[in-house]
Amino acid sequence: MILTAQDFKTSEYDEETLEMDYTLGEEVINLSIYNGDDELEEILKDVNKVVAQLEKYNAEGKDIIVDELYDVYSEKNEGLSEEQFRDELGLLSLYFTGDGEVEFNYEGGAYFGDHILSIEMTDGEFESHVAMNG
């Protein structure tokens, strides 16, 4: 399925941002496009490239979070396995800003409270750092 501008609606919070809900398996993910530079067609190409491989990218994103944060959280949560930790991670949203850049945002379940875990991707490659927001 190729996503087009007609699949998105203007965000209630920012008229330069378009958004839609996308279903991946049983998860509903918010896809947002920041279109401040009027490069919608180029950004939509990025969206479709990422969505076509979203299962793979989602797994890679979770791997990065587990690699960076599991040891710290397993010390505080005795008996926590990597698999349990990974299972708590849920992809919430993707935020596309153009130039091949997209931010993957995850909720961390019970281990991170209300914090959102973010990982940047540029041209199909993740940065190795996880940011904690909120």
48: in domain: no
The answer to whether the beta carbons of residues 111 and 117 sit under 8 Å apart is no
SS3 state of residue 84:
helix
Report the candidate in 127, 109, 131, 125 with the shortest Cα–Cα distance to residue 46.
125
Domain count across the chain: 1
68, part of any domain: yes
What's the mean pLDDT in 108-133?
89
Give the other-Cβ count within 10 Å of 103's Cβ. Answer: 17
> What amino acid occupies position 105?
N
Interval 52-82: pLDDT, tens: 999 999 999 999 999 999 988 878 778 888 9
Residue 124: which pLDDT band, with cuts at 50, 70 and 90? very high
Q: Which domain holds residue 73?
A: 54-123
Mean pLDDT for the chain overall = 92
Helix ranges (DSSP H) in 27-81: 40-52, 54-76
